[in-house]
Each structure stands twice: as structure tokens, then as C-alpha cells.
């Protein structure tokens, strides 16, 4: 099948994040340049919720990546659209650096909870406050900016938002609405922004469930890189089988460009 567009995960594919700003994965910056030179449509499809898109892009540009805010599909702006459409006023349990994304959203007298990768803000007190907001509603609404189990930073693996989402789901007997990968609406938004149908797009990610499985459920092909959060056990996953495994983004780009 013809390929017209690529969706790239960011953390674990382009770079490994960390307290020092992170480090690029070998060959990834050059791989992005080659994609852009090829004429393929490109979208950076990330579940990043520890920073605004502007600061996130600034950091990546500092690491040598050719990337702009307009090329990034991220959960927080998508969540803001949902909040406005439905007249929801969120109680935010998110990273401090993400709060500016919600500056134009009414947060008085909350009638839902929005959960992101709050990192050090995932304290008992903060989780309990979110629990109290939800448990006090007749029909609780929990919106989660992703459902990842863990991710990789330069000093090792870290618990992701999905673990805390599950805790609130269990405590409040509610099912979270996920905004971000692997939600179908999230992938469809990225495809629409590129103007490419799913059968002509390929997702490249390090997460077997959220990147690969989510993309395949939308009709895309998906490759898993053996960088980032990849674990050898992913290759025996009972439900998700990537269209191919590649050692890194550079190798994936080599394969795809040879087929154009």
C-alpha cells in the first residue's frame, strides 16, 4: 500500500526524557530531516502532558529536531475542546507546567476531573482531593490525558498516568474517558490534520499497546521501535502484533523511504 504520511511518537522514539531535558536517541534527528525532505506528511503524535506544546517543542528544537507547534498532536488541546463542547469545568490533577494549556477554561465549581502525568504532584493528598470531587457527583466524569503504564527517562522507567487513572476508576466506580493515545478520536484527529487516510499512514512508536495497538485499530500500519519503553516481552504480546519491529527510528525511515 502507498505511504503518504507518518505519525511519530516522541518520547522513546525521538528522545529519552529526563530531569536534565533528556537526550536524543541516536540518528533520530537526522531521520526527521529525511522524512521532511522526502515529501511525506508528518505528524508528531504524543501523549506528553508535563509541558505545554510550546515549551515541549522548544526543548526538542534545542535537542536538534526540526519541529513546530503546528505539527504536534497532543492531549491537552484535545481535552480543552471536549471541555468547551460539553460545558465541563475541570478539577485539574496535572503537572504544574501543563496548567497554562487550560488558562481559558472555566475551572470554578468543578464538575469533572482532568488527569494528566502530574509526576511529583501525584501525592496522596492530591489524589484524594480528585477522588472527593468525583465521588461527590451523581455521574462522575473522569478525563485522562492518556493511559500509559510507564515511560522511560534517562534515569530509568517511571509510572505513567494510567496507573493513577486506574486507582480513581476503582475507587469511584467510574470509567475514564481517555484523550490521547490509544483513543481512536486522537489518532483520527492527527490523520485529519495531515489530510491522509489511515490506510496510507504508518505510526512509529515504542508502546506496544497505546502506539501500535491504537494505530492499528484505526486502520493504520504500525511499527514498534526497540528504544524507549520497549521491552523484549513486547514481542510476545498476546493481543498486539506490530507490522514490523525496527531497532530505532532511523532504521524505520530507511525501510519506508526505500519503498517510495
CB 178 within 8 A of CB 146: yes
| Residue at a domain's end among 153, 178, 203 | 178
CB 79 within 8 A of CB 105: no
Q: How many domains does the chain have?
A: 2
Based on the domain organization, do 85 and 171 belong to the same domain?
Answer: yes
Give the 3-state secondary structure of residue 15: strand
Based on the domain organization, do 141 and 161 belong to the same domain?
Answer: yes
pLDDT in tens, the chain (260 residues): 799 999 999 999 999 998 888 999 999 999 999 999 999 999 999 999 999 999 999 999 999 999 999 999 999 999 999 999 999 999 999 999 999 999 999 999 999 999 999 999 999 999 999 999 999 999 999 999 999 999 999 999 999 999 999 999 999 999 999 999 999 999 999 999 999 999 999 999 999 999 999 999 999 999 999 999 999 999 999 999 999 999 999 999 999 999 98
Based on the domain organization, do 84 and 169 belong to the same domain?
Answer: yes
Based on the domain organization, do 97 and 156 belong to the same domain?
Answer: yes
Within-domain flag for 58: no
Based on the domain organization, do 144 and 200 belong to the same domain?
Answer: no
pLDDT score for 201 = 98
Measure the N-to-C terminal CA separation of the chain; round to a whole number of Å. 10
Based on the domain organization, do 186 and 172 belong to the same domain?
Answer: no
Within-domain flag for 158: yes
pTM over 0.85: yes
Residues 6+ apart with CB under 8 A from 65: 14, 15, 24, 28, 29, 32
Q: Which of 144, 113, 118 is nearest to 130 (CA)?
A: 113
Within-domain flag for 247: yes
Based on the domain organization, do 43 and 122 belong to the same domain?
Answer: no
Return the number of other C-beta atoms located less than 10 Å from residue 188's C-beta. 13
Within-domain flag for 251: yes
| Residue at a domain's end among 143, 178, 213 | 178
Based on the domain organization, do 37 and 98 belong to the same domain?
Answer: no
Based on the domain organization, do 150 and 199 belong to the same domain?
Answer: no
Within-domain flag for 55: no
Give the 3-state secondary structure of residue 14: coil
Based on the domain organization, do 208 and 161 belong to the same domain?
Answer: no
Within-domain flag for 199: yes
Within-domain flag for 11: yes
Q: Which of 168, 157, 166, 154 is nearest to 113 (CA)?
A: 168
Based on the domain organization, do 174 and 186 belong to the same domain?
Answer: no
The CATH number assigned to the domain holding 209 equals: 3.40.50.1000
Within-domain flag for 200: yes
Based on the domain organization, do 86 and 173 belong to the same domain?
Answer: yes
Cell of 9: 511518537
| Residue at a domain's end among 178, 208, 229 | 178
CA distance 141 to 74: 21
Domain that holds residue 172: 79-178
Amino acid at each position: 500500500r502507498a505511504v503518504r504520511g507518518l505519525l511519530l511518537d516522541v518520547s522513546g522514539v525521538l528522545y529519552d526524557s529526563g530531569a536534565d531535558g533528556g537526550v536524543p536517541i541516536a540518528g533520530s534527528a537526522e531521520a526527521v530531516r529525511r522524512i521532511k525532505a522526502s515529501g511525506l506528511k508528518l505528524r508528531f503524535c504524543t501523549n506528553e502532558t508535563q509541558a505545554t506544546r510550546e515549551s515541549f517543542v522548544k526543548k526538542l528544537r534545542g535537542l536538534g529536531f526540526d519541529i513546530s507547534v503546528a505539527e504536534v498532536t497532543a492531549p491537552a488541546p484535545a481535552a480543552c475542546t471536549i471541555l468547551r463542547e460539553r460545558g465541563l469545568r475541570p478539577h485539574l490533577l496535572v503537572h504544574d507546567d501543563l496548567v497554562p494549556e487550560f488558562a481559558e477554561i472555566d475551572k470554578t465549581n468543578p464538575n469533572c476531573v482532568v488527569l494528566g502525568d502530574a509526576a511529583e504532584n501525584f501525592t496522596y493528598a492530591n489524589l484524594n482531593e480528585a477522588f472527593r470531587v468525583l465521588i461527590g457527583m451523581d455521574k462522575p466524569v473522569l478525563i485522562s490525558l492518556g493511559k500509559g503504564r510507564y515511560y522511560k527517562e534517562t534515569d530509568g522507567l517511571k509510572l505513567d498516568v494510567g496507573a493513577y487513572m486506574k486507582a480513581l476508576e476503582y475507587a469511584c466506580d467510574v470509567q475514564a474517558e481517555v484523550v490521547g493515545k490509544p483513543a481512536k478520536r486522537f489518532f483520527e484527529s492527527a490523520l485529519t490534520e495531515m489530510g491522509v487516510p489511515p490506510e496510507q499512514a504508518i505510526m512509529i512508536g515504542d508502546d506496544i499497546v497505546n502506539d501500535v495497538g491504537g494505530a492499528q485499530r484505526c486502520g493504520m500500519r504500525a511499527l514498534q521501535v526497540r528504544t524507549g519503553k520497549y521491552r523484549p516481552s513486547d514481542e510476545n504480546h498476546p493481543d498486539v502484533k506490530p507490522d514490523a519491529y525496527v531497532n530505532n527510528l532511523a532504521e524505520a525511515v530507511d525501510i519506508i523511504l526505500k519503498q517510495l
